[in-house]
Amino acid sequence: EHHEEWKNGGRLMSLLLGINIILLGCALVSGGAFHEVAVVEREVLSYLTVLMGLTGCWMVIYLVWTARHKNSVMLKDSHAGPVWLRAGAVLFGVCTLVLVVLKIGKSVTLIHCESPLKIVHPVIQGVFVVIQTYFLWVASQDCAQIHLNRTRFGLMLTLSTNLTVWIAAVTDESLHQSVHEEDPHSGPKAAVGDCGCETEICSSFETGYYYLYPFNIEYSLFASAMSYVMWKNVGRIMSHNSHDTHHAFKAQNHIVGLVFGIAVLVSGLAVFIVYEIEVNSEETRSQALTMFYIFNIVALGLMSVSPLAASITYRLSKRDMDSHKNPTRTLDVALLIGAALGQFFIAYYSIVAVIAVSPGHLHDTLNLIYSILMIVQHLLQNVFIIEGLHRKPLHEEHEEHHHNYPHDHDKDFNEVYINPIATVSGEVSTHEHLNELDVKPPHGSVTHSTVQHVRADHKTRLVKEISLFLLLSNIIFWIMPAFGARPQFENGLELKFYGYPMWIAIVNIGLPFGIFYRMHAVASLVEVYIIS
């Protein structure tokens, strides 16, 4: 019981620490951003550098602790830090490293007029990213059992450092873009102020690293999510009865979903490439936008209808829900709902802008339909995934249903059960034999059972097809924003309506969440596919 007290104490204290780090960062960054003279830029950079340095040191210490206590109990939460999250962290981490190198390069060419902090900061950031990526890869499943409170503080420090870096990156990027968009002919020099790039190589460094900003933003989000899960898991003792059913992920039986999904994926890739080429020249931009919106509307339409169909199927085949507490699932659901807010945000702002201006251009109307469908699709898909995650796996349920009958072969029941018709008929006939032998209903009853089972099988199959289709189409909806499609800027309407810094900030805050949502949805759909 005393242990509990300290658990809450440590949680509370570390939470308060985290809140204060983030708020101070937030105030510093917005002070730097909104004040005409960048008088606090130095402070922002020092703050970030100190935070990253501290976090880096802590992570090294943690790794040393873990290595030293390898023999002690080191529980793992197998649901935390799934492969897609860790791989994503590595991918975005590498991109961030490239960004850091470009930043250092630029600062070195400007060494004559800029403060040395501009070199120290990216160097520390590089070291930090390397350590953190390794740390997340190795330790993201740990449920720390030693140094509980110190680990809580360390993880909260990691979380708040990443969020502060995220806030700083979003603000930086928004300011840069708004300067760039407002006056596209002035080039990158206007963004820097008195100490601007004058050489060719410096400018190319600068252009390069602004392209990589989205990956840096995404990296911070990933690291935050993973360190939050680790923080929640500190001191948790896993119950080992959560059977790790490693179903093979076999898609070959579900041709329809596979074919439709691949069709959307491939056509989406084609549309995306054409769009990226055409949107940059003035004369083809309108055409590119129209094509892009039409593809999106068709695909989103399909992706809205299919989870709706699956949800209706759920209603028809009532299966028991798994209402046990499951922290990982709760977190999954919260992340799905929370990350969807990003796209909701953008979509609602677009809708308001289009309705208020009501310009009547073709691609503004398309933009309206696209935004509405985006919201509808997220809603329906979330309902489908969340309900899917809460359903009991099929085999478990059958186990429960038949538990009432006493079976001698209880242990190998599952293996026998693989052929459903055999089992059902066997059971029914045993019953019937006991009561009456000569009357002939048994055959009819067996057929009825079998038909029901086959019908349930059809439903399961439908759900599996749909999840496969959604899974594949979510991939293309991840690829398009992640690799630079920004119709929100290119159509120009919202930029004009809300003004530069505001709309850019909305998109820069919302879109990374949208990208995170798509990746998370793909992972959850795999799970739904397996459970169904």
Residues near a copy of itself (CB under 8 A) = 1-2, 4-5, 8-9, 12-13, 15-16, 19-20, 23-24, 26-28, 30-31, 34-35, 39-40, 43, 318, 320-321, 323, 337, 341, 344-345, 348-349, 351-353, 355-357, 375, 379, 382-383, 386-387, 390, 497-499, 502
Shortest approach of a copy of itself to residue 474 CB, angstroms? 19
Amino acid in position 216: N
User: Tokens 């190198």 belong to which residue?
Assistant: 101
Identity of the residue, 10 or 188, whose beta carbon is nearer to a copy of itself in the bound complex: 10
Distance CA 90, CA 512 (A): 16
What distances in angstroms separate CA 190 from CA 110, 186, 283, one per listed residue?
15, 6, 27
Minimum Å gap between C-beta 455 and a copy of itself is: 20
CA-based R_g, the chain, Å: 27
Q: Which residues pair with 75 in a beta bridge?
A: 143
Work out how close the CB of 186 gets to a copy of itself at its nearest, in angstroms, rounded to a whole number: 23
Give me the least distance between CB of 318 and a copy of itself, in Å please: 8
Q: Which residue has the tokens 């105030």?
A: 27
> Which residue, 426 or 499, has its beta carbon nearer to a copy of itself?
499
Output the CA–CA distances (angstroms, integers) from residue 89 to 23, 136, 167, 292, 456, in the order listed: 25, 8, 18, 29, 40
Return the DSSP state at 47. Answer: H
User: Closer to a copy of itself at the Cβ: 137 or 348?
Assistant: 348
Query: How many whole angstroms separate alpha carbon 532 and alpha carbon 444?
Result: 29
Nearer to a copy of itself, 390 or 398 (CB): 390
Nearer to a copy of itself, 7 or 453 (CB): 7
Q: Which is nearer to a copy of itself, 345 or 413 (CB)?
A: 345
Question: How far, in Å, are 168, 340, 481 from residue 213 at the CA level?
Answer: 11, 21, 13
CB 163 → a copy of itself: shortest distance, Å?
14
Give least dist CB 500 to a copy of itself, A.
11
Residue carrying the six token digits 């397996």 = 530
The nearer residue to a copy of itself, 23 or 451, going by C-beta atoms, is 23
CB of 502 to a copy of itself, least distance (A): 6
Find the shortest distance in angstroms from Cβ 201 to a copy of itself.
33
Q: Strand pairing partners for 321? A: 391
Residue 297, judged by CB atoms within 10 A of its CB (0-12, 13-18, 19+), counts as middle
Contact between residue 484 and residue 273 where contact means Cβ atoms under 8 Å apart:
no
Q: Can you spell out the DSSP letters for 202-265?
A: HHHHHHHHHHHHHHHHHHHHHHHHHHHHHHHHTT----TTS---------TT-HHHHHHHHHHH
Which of 272, 349 has the CB closer to a copy of itself? Answer: 349
Strands (E), 58-167: 75-76, 142-143
- Of residues 103 and 152, the one with the C-beta less far from a copy of itself: 152
Torsion of CA 331, 332, 334, 338, to 10 degrees: 130
> Smallest distance, Å, CB 341 to a copy of itself?
7
Residue number, 13 or 127, with CB nearest to a copy of itself: 13
Task: Write down the least CB distance from residue 271 to a copy of itself, Å.
Answer: 27
